[in-house]
Amino acid sequence: MDIGKFKAGTLKKQYGYSSFSPEMVNHDWLINDARINSLLSEADRKLGELNAFSMLIPDVDFFIKMHIAKEATKSSRIEGTQTSIEEALQKSTYIDPEKIDDWQEVHNYIEAMNYAIAQLEKLPISNRLLKQTHKRLLQGVRGKHKLPGEFRTSQNWIGGTSLKDAAFVPPHHEEVPDLMSDLEKFLNNDELQVPPLIRIAIAHYQFETIHPFLDGNGRLGRLLITLYLVSNNIINKPALYLSDFFEKHRLLYYDNLTLVRNKSILKEWLFFFLTGVLRTAESSIDTFNAIIKLRQVVEEKKIITLGKRVPLAMKLIRYLYSKPIVDTTEIAEALEVNISTAHRLVQDFENLKILAEQTGYKRNRVFVFEDYIKLFR
């Protein structure tokens, strides 16, 4: 189908309201827009550069954990959660009780992402995987009573206070199984000549339009982007997350999705999505470059001065790359040393200006690897 002839769907009259019934997407898509094709080539090249960086950096999985933490906070923030990346990196015991629900939602996102990426080794992108991931996303948080892990069996809506004044009403719940089956086929149909980035852009739009769950659709739909790119080897490591771009351009994000539904104008959404991929890949490359420079300073100029304590200090710095906010008890457990040794090591890192104490307390002190965290803000 030529995207210029694309019809998004139709309004269906229900009892007292109208729902939007999207067209199926599991078919070929013809992109004859020079602007989109040029941007697609540019985004593909930049992803190739990002792949090269992610394969060259030693211990890259430590840094991927920080990318996932950033994605979790940004994607959750789009939905109204206010947890910062600094708060997300702390233990729950250090979180203000008024913020604990937000903190738990972010940690559920991290757990759901890690679970889904691990499952890709034995499962394709599928409705089964999406349901399992959704269950973890809503476990024990505000959406826990909204059928975690199950497609909805009632009508939902977006915006407004009811179906009558809603900004958008997704398809009737009886349509959800067929629409999601079609989307699953589209994501895995090797016979279609659709570029991967175009395919996942369309898939994300379709998922958000179907809104197959009662809650968590925005977060899971954005998580789906990374899962698809990893499962199809478009990126070798899960180091590309679009939620930061979507959060910075939140109005454009929603406006472009709405434009597709209301006017069947798909090309503006594709252009916005590809711009997001390009800018995010560039940002991720810049972050990796900054990490390389920081490691050189910390490991080759600072830690090297610690003499006999260098091997233990290197263990700590590697731990800090994945967990840059710590207390001494946590360090002692992670490094399998006694608490006195952990205290001395922290003091060394404070003297070297690697760690800084953030609470000002004499007890229950928390230490922050600030130069590292700011690379992910």
At 360 the pLDDT is: 82
Name every residue whose Cβ is closer than 8 Å to that of residue 155 and which is 6 or more positions away in sequence: 14, 17, 19, 163, 169, 170, 172, 173
The pTM score is 0.93
Structure confidence by residue, pLDDT tens digits, 96-118: 888 899 999 999 999 999 999 99
Q: Tell how far CA 93 is from the center of its chain.
A: 25
Distance CA 77, CA 136 (A): 18
Distance CA 233, CA 201 (A): 16
- Report whether 6 contacts 264 (CB < 8 A): yes
The helix or strand, by DSSP H or E, that contains position 328, with its residue range, turns out to be helix 328-335
Structure confidence by residue, pLDDT tens digits, 207-243: 999 999 999 999 999 999 999 999 999 998 898 999 9
Name every residue whose Cβ is closer than 8 Å to that of residue 106 and which is 6 or more positions away in sequence: 72, 73, 76, 81, 83, 87, 88
Cross-strand partners of 21: 10
Handedness of CA 231, 235, 236, 240 (dihedral sign): negative
Among residues 238, 197, 280, 211, which one has the least CA distance to residue 54? 238
The arithmetic mean of pLDDT across residues 245-264, rounded, is: 96
Report the 10 Å Cβ neighbour count for 142. Answer: 14
Q: Is the pLDDT of residue 363 over 90?
A: no
Structure confidence by residue, pLDDT tens digits, 12-42: 999 999 999 999 999 999 999 999 999 999 9
- Report whether 179 contacts 210 (CB < 8 A): yes
- % of the chain with per-residue pLDDT over 70: 100
Distance CA 143, CA 145 (A): 6
> Among all chains, which residue has been given the structure tokens 């930049």?
46
CB neighbour burial string for 286-302, b if at least 16 within 10 angstroms, e if fewer: ebbeebeebbeebeeeb
- Report whether 215 contacts 138 (CB < 8 A): yes
Distance CA 277, CA 204 (A): 13
User: Which phi and psi angles does 10 have, rounded to 5°?
Assistant: -135, 155
Q: Is the pLDDT of residue 281 over 80?
A: yes
Which domains are delineated in the chain?
A: 3-287 (1.10.3290.10), 298-376 (1.10.10.10)
